[in-house]
Every structure is written in structure tokens, then in C-alpha cells.
Amino acid sequence: MLSALEEGVKGGVWFSLMDKVCKKSNLKSSSAKVVANGGSAGVDHVSVEAFANHLDENLEALGRTLRDGTYRPSAIRRTVIPKPGSEEGRPLGIPTVRDRVVQGAVRQVLEPIFEKDFASGSYGFRPGRGCKDALREVNELLREGYTHLVDVDIKGYFDAINHDQLMDLLKRKVADGTLLALVEQFLKAEIFSSMGSWEPESGAPQGAVLSPLLSNVYLDPLDQLMESLGFRMVRYADDMMIVCRSRAEAEEALATLSRWCESAKLQLHPEKTRVVDTQIESFEFLGYCFGVYKGQRLIYPRKRSLEKLRDAIRAKTKRKRGDSLSQIVRDVSVTLRGWYGYFKHSKKRIFRDVDKWTRMRLRCILRRRLGHDCRSRKMDNFKWPKAYFAEAGLFSLEQAHRLESQSLKG
């Protein structure tokens, strides 16, 4: 996409971008991603399936309204989803399917323009980068002798993004007024929730296709500032760590961060933002807990990550579930395999404990089907041993970890 845009750049500022957004091939590419991601309908109650059933007509209409300037974003449907460790939950904005397609088309044009200049320490929502890369960098820095860090928490980041400052940042690289106006319309789109409706004065709704890119654009000046001052900041969206060689350096980094946040109209959480001595204190980052035991550094899933896994397995191993054991085992194995793919660098005891607990859930289903008391478990291990579930095809975290460890040893 970037090579196709080169014709419209002058002095680092990009002109004539709206025609790229409107191209049918761009809209079609965006719609394919929207359809693949699925999700709920927006305020117009048009589902992804219904939109896809008339795809050519819908894309033609979108292209036409974008070209003639009559396109207007619909309101955002706001809902709240559970957030581990929080009674408030996480607000989620759900645009209509048509708006998701247009936002995706805008993102596909803007992303290559900004992506090439983003800081190296930014990993969230970027092509070819992810959580594991951010975790790997933090771990490598600790191994290199970095002993302290600033554990950063920005209060309600996505809802706090200042629209004026964000638009100013976009204007540094984009001079297409029509495209900028469209982005601003998305930011100002009315929000509908069970509490009423309102036009937001700040924020980029979590759940909107364009928001991850806009959130990176907004925090990029912080990334660049920290990098220019020699601080090692590792950021995934609004989850970030500033890794330092001493407490004094960490305190200096925190002071710099506080000043920048004030200028960006963002607020640090006073209780959750802290300086951590990693030699004696634990910290959490992207689902993992980094701890120390008897001078040895340990990395393992944080408590909430394990709770989410158990909740997912509980949902698939209800005692009254009528599916065959083989089907239940297949469903559970999908969850376990995906979880292992992310948490495979944990200590092996975690895998053994999860395997044991999962087999206990499955034995309870089998026991109930035989009409036995679910509280009588003494003979379970003999009747349905570990080998029984292995033969049934149950994915074993412990075995996967053992095999991977052996392959790494050579």
C-alpha cells in the first residue's frame, strides 16, 4: 500500500488519500477482515452475515457515498464486558458493520504512513509484532542487568484520548482534509448505551477498527521521547513498562512520564503506577507474572490468566453436557492448546496442575453418567487414569512442555 501512496507525499506530508480509501479493492479487503472477525451487530441491527449476503451492493453503496461526501458514520453501541480484577468492567464500542468496513479501509491507508516511523519499543496492534515480542524484550532486559522498572497504568486510556491533540498528530503526516474530517466524524460519533446517549468529547472507543492505530499515534510522541532520553520503554497499546538500571533512573523516568501525561491530558493511576525493584518484587505484564524466589527469576501465568483458563474449561465440562466424551475432549483440547501456545514459557508445575484439574473435571462428567456420587472420587484415578484421557486425545500441557524442552536440548 505504501508504494501506491508515494505519489501523494510532499515533504513527509501525504495528500490525496481519500481516493485510496474509496477504491473497491481496498473496501473489499477491509470487508473480508470484518467478516472473518465476526462480532455483534451495531445500532442498525445489521449482522455481519446479513452484510456479507449483499456484499457487492453494500460495497458499491459505501464507495459511492464516500466519493460524493454523503457518508456519515452511525452511532456506536456501547456495552460493558467483564474485566478481571475490576467491578466496573471494560467499556466496548461496537460500530455498525458498514462503519467497521470503512474504518478498516481508512486504517489500511493510514497504517503504512505512520507504521514506518513508530518507535521500536511499541508492539501492540502492529504488523509482525505481538505480545510475545514485548514479553521477550522485557525478559532480555532483566537478564542484561536491568533491575528496576516503572509499571505504568494510564486511567481509562482509550476514553481519555484528546481529540484535538490526536487530530494535530494526524495532520503532521496527513493533509487530505476529507480524510481527516472522516476520522474526526468517527471520533465524534454518538454513543448509545443502556445509560442513554451522548457525543463524546474525548476518546477512541475500544472495539472500533480504527482505534488501535489511533491509540498508537497518540502515544508515539511518548515512545519517541523516552527513546531519545535513553529510557527502555516496552509498550503494548496502553500496557507499558519502563525498564531501568537503578531506582534513581526509574524515578527519573516516572517523573518524565508524569510530565508528558499531563501535557497529553492523560492521568496516571496513582495506586497502580509504581517503581518496582525486580530483584525482590514481582510484577505483571501481558498476562504473565514475573517473580523472584530464592534469588531465581520465575515467569508464570498471573492468577487472573489461570482463572480465565479454568472458567473456559468449566464452560466446556459441565456435568450435564450431553456430548460424547470425544467431542468434549476435542473442545477442551482446543482451549488448552491455544493457552499453551501463549504460556508455554511458564514453570512446568503450572502445566501439571492444570492437567490434573482438567482430568478431574472430565472424571466428574464420567462419574455422573454412571450415576455415581460426584463427591466419591477415591477410585477415579484407577478407573480413568491419565492414560485413559491421553488415548481419548486430550491435549496435555505437561507433555507438550516436556517434548518442547527435549527438542530444545537437541
pLDDT computed for residue 319 by the predictor: 85
- Confidence grade of residue 81 (pLDDT, cut at 50, 70, 90): confident
Residue 296's alpha-carbon distances to 1, 242, 278, 280, 291, in angstroms, are 47, 22, 11, 10, 8
Residue pLDDT, tens place only, 30-56 = 999 999 999 999 999 999 999 999 999
Q: What distance in Å separates the CA atoms of residue 394 and residue 354, rounded to the nearest whole number? A: 12
- Cα 406 vs. chain centroid, distance in angstroms? 32
Amino acid 1: pLDDT: 57
**Mean pLDDT value of segment 185-194:** 94
Would you say 148 and 245 are in contact if contact means Cβ atoms under 8 Å apart? yes
Q: CATH 3.30.70.270 region(s) of the chain?
A: 121-162+202-300
Picking from 127, 183, 171, the residue whose alpha carbon sits closest to that of residue 2 is 127
If DSSP codes are grouped into helix, strand and coil, which group holds residue 92?
Answer: strand
pLDDT in tens, 367-383: 888 877 655 566 788 89
Supply the pLDDT for residue 204: 97
* Predicted local distance difference test score (pLDDT) of residue 373: 64
Whether the pLDDT of residue 11 is over 80: the answer is: no
Is it true that domain 121-162+202-300 has CATH number 3.30.70.270? yes
Which amino acid, 326?
S
Residue 3 in this model has a pLDDT that exceeds 60: no
Global pTM reads: 0.90
Instruction: Evaluate whether 144 touches 35 at the Cβ level (below 8 Å).
Output: no
Q: Tell me the Ramachandran region of residue 287: left when phi exceeds 0, alpha when psi lies from -120 to 50, beta otherwise.
A: left
Q: Does residue 224 surpass a pLDDT of 60?
A: yes
With a cut of 60, say whether residue 410 has pLDDT above it.
no
Report pLDDT digits (tens) over 82-127: 766 566 678 899 999 999 999 999 999 999 999 999 999 999 999 9
Q: Specify the pLDDT at position 400.
A: 96
Q: What percent of the chain has pLDDT over 90?
A: 83
